Structure 1
């Protein structure tokens, strides 16, 4: 049985989390590995609306 793993990135606003996530995603894609990128809150329409509240 193949097992997956979780990579988690935490940090302060403006700390480069999005950049690291994009680079990690690029690396995994180049290696032909399956992956899912998620974020909090996210995944459903209302969550995306919450993220955009100023």
Structure 2
């Protein structure tokens, strides 16, 4: 499973694509990267709380 740091690097890379390439396409990539990172962090916390609730 990827860590939050890896997702942060992925998001930064996506934002670098935004700066380097087509603004419209890059902004879509940036939005997708941020949503993916947020969703991954949320699901990781949900799994962690579910595991701790079972103990």
**TM-score of Structure 1 vs Structure 2, range by shorter chain:** 0.3 to 0.5
Instruction: Find the structure with the greater CA-based Rg.
Output: 2
Q: What TM-score results when the alignment is normalised by the length of structure 1?
A: 0.41
Q: What TM-score results when the alignment is normalised by the length of structure 2?
A: 0.40
